[in-house]
């Protein structure tokens, strides 16, 4: 943790409980595992890479607005966890409305937004996207091309999105999270191409 923070406060536990309530019936697209596993992994990565408790809480809640209630959920987060957490969560959301805009429009808007955000948002977003990439790679090993049916962008759109994310993250400088993201993306692309080349 930054600033020699020795431990987490009760606020972190409160955020975990809220995230659990919001996402307890949600599962991951490919593996169908409990969605909370993703939130815990992202929060863990944020802490492991020097994040503050505020950033770790934001990581727990980073999908709450996008997937579980939009602006009404954002208002609760702001009231319960403060303006800074709410700002990070909002910046990490590619949509705050329901129904969501078309997939490509959301992703292009999110990529553009990432060009003007705080270091806290970049940290949480990199941890989020890296864990998604790790999961995507593992799920592709299990399911092959059948995996893409779970993703609105399909194979081409999904790979395009992660390449664009890497490009915008690079404008903020190299980080261990970004380095691993580039490595996993490269391995995934090679695996996909090898499958395409098979007769």
What's the rounded Cα separation, in Å, for the pair 71 and 123?
Answer: 23
Q: Among 75, 78, 85, which residue's Cα sits nearest to residue 54?
A: 85
**88: preceding bond cis by omega (within 30 degrees):** no
Q: What would the DSSP string read from start to end of 145-178?
A: GGGGGGSTTHHHHHHHHHHHHHHHHHTT---HHH
Helices first, then strands: H and E counts in the chain: 10, 0
Active site residue ranges: 66-67
């Amino acid at each position: 943790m930054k600033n020699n923070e020795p431990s987490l406060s009760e606020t972190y536990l409160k955020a975990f409980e809220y995230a659990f309530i919001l996402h307890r019936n949600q599962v991951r697209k490919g593996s169908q595992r409990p969605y909370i596993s993703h939130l815990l992994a992202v929060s863990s990565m944020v802490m492991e890479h020097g994040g503050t408790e505020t950033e770790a809480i934001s990581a727990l809640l980073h999908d709450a607005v996008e997937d579980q209630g939009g602006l009404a959920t954002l208002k609760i987060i702001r009231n319960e966890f403060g303006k800074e957490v709410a700002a990070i969560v909002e910046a990490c959301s590619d949509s705050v409305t329901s129904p969501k805009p078309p997939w490509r429009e959301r992703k292009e808007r999110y990529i553009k937004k990432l060009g003007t955000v705080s270091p806290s948002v970049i940290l949480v977003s990199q941890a989020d996207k890296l864990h998604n990439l790790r999961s995507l790679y593992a799920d592709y090993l299990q399911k092959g091309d059948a995996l893409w049916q779970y993703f609105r962008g399909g194979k081409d759109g999904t790979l395009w999105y992660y390449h664009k994310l890497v490009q915008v993250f690079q404008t903020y400088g190299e980080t261990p999270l970004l380095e691993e993201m580039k490595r996993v993306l490269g391995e995934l692309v090679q695996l996909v191409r090898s499958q395409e080349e098979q007769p």
